[in-house]
Amino acid sequence: MFALKSINRHHVLIVGLAVLVGLFLVFWPFFEQWGMDEGALVNEETATAYTPSATFAPERVSFSVQFKDEVSPYRLMSIFVMPGEAVELKAVFTEAKGSAEIKTSAGAIRETGPEAWVWTAPDQPGLYPLHLTEGRAGETITLNAFVKVPFDHSQDALNGYRIGDYADVPLDGNPLYNEPDGFVEVTPENQEAYVSPHFQLKQFVCKQAADFPKYLILRERLLLKLEMLLEAVNERGIAANTFHVMSAFRTPFYNKSIGNRTTYSRHLYGGAADLFIDTDGDDYMDDLDDDGEVTVAEARWMAALVEEKTGAPWYQPFIGGLGIYSPAPHRGPFIHVDVRGQKARW
């Protein structure tokens, strides 16, 4: 009797497993399609799994990816697009011609030439990583693609988050100052995501008091500039894995609430950051010259690194504003950098 029961149970177990495998095979295409259409949460988890090196490393690979008007050699970078937007992508090889393939869990990929593609973003806002892998060394560049939430500028808020009013007419007709078409949605799940090798999404969120979801704009060129500046800081012997970003994106609502009357601040358009070096995590600029004091000299030291690059031909797309700020009772010294496309100093 015992043996018979054991055989029957064993038989039932095998049959049950066979049924589960069969169901999996039948419904797998639907699960896969679901992941293509609604995979934002899964992709957020993938993106936040990235961790930079314990000690600073530039995190470059042997090839680059070209997208929009940018070229990135980093193994992680971000792009910000609207739902259904088509983005041209190309693998760029600085030495011998190589080969690359691209993979993504969402959107549509169409090959347009040798190591060139058009990626059409999903209609659903969220975070969707794309992975470009070089064929010889097997190195991979991940592009964290953030699909934005469209915004109607006849409204004052987006899902309860105050935005405020943008200028109807761009400054001097410059498209950098067009009204934003949408905003990146920031949630508890995606705020830890790295948007470049050494910076996380949460570092660029507006400081206004609000519950999640929050919304921001961030320009890819600003991320590239910050990575270059951080590398220059480390080359000078300051072991910094990131900058303390005091203020990056600001909504027009918040900008006005803190007393700023600048209608066209680059902060409103996601192209500026106020920052300082804080390797000890005390939320204050480090004593960079080891003189026992933290003064405007530290901000000038950082600004000098920016100025050193200004004359280089390759740096011209990154030219922008540079401001030096002295300590105040409520904060330490810092610098402002932006990517407005023309030189401005204060």
The CATH number of residue 65's host domain is 2.60.40.10
Residue 10's pLDDT is 41
**Under 8 Å between Cβ of 288 and 300:** no
Count of domains in the chain?
2
**Is 202 in the same domain as 107?**
no
Per-residue pLDDT, 159: 97
CA-closest candidate to residue 269, choices 316, 220, 318, 224: 220
Same-domain check for residues 135 and 189? no
| Predicted pLDDT at 32 | 35
Query: Would you call the peptide bond into 329 cis, given omega within 30 degrees of 0 as the criterion?
Result: no
| pLDDT at residue number 195 | 98
- Same domain membership, residue 161 and residue 120: no
Environment class of 203 (CB within 10 Å of its CB; exposed 0-12, middle 13-18, buried 19+): buried
Per-residue pLDDT, 242: 98
* Rounded Cα gap, residues 1 and 8, in angstroms: 11
The distance in angstroms from the start CA to the end CA of the chain is: 91
Residue ranges in the chain modelled with pLDDT below 70: 1-49
Task: Say whether both 279 and 178 belong to one domain.
Answer: yes
Alpha helix segments (H runs only) across the chain: 2-38, 40-48, 220-235, 252-257, 296-309
- CB–CB of 199/218 below 8 Å? no
Residue the block writes with tokens 């799994």: 49
**pLDDT score, position 11:** 44
Do 319 and 249 share a structural domain?
yes
* Residue-level pLDDT at 95: 77
Does 214 map to a domain? yes
- Residue 106 backbone phi and psi in degrees, to 5: -155, 155
E-assigned strand segments in 68-107: 70-74, 76-81, 86-93, 100-104
Q: What is the pLDDT of residue 31?
A: 30
The pLDDT assigned to 225 comes to 98
Q: Within a domain: residue 17?
A: no
Task: Mark which of 147, 173, 204 sits at the end of a domain.
Answer: 147
The residue segments making up the domain with residue 187 are: 150-346
> Are 198 and 78 found together in one domain?
no
**Based on the domain organization, do 120 and 224 belong to the same domain?**
no
Q: Is residue 254 part of a domain?
A: yes
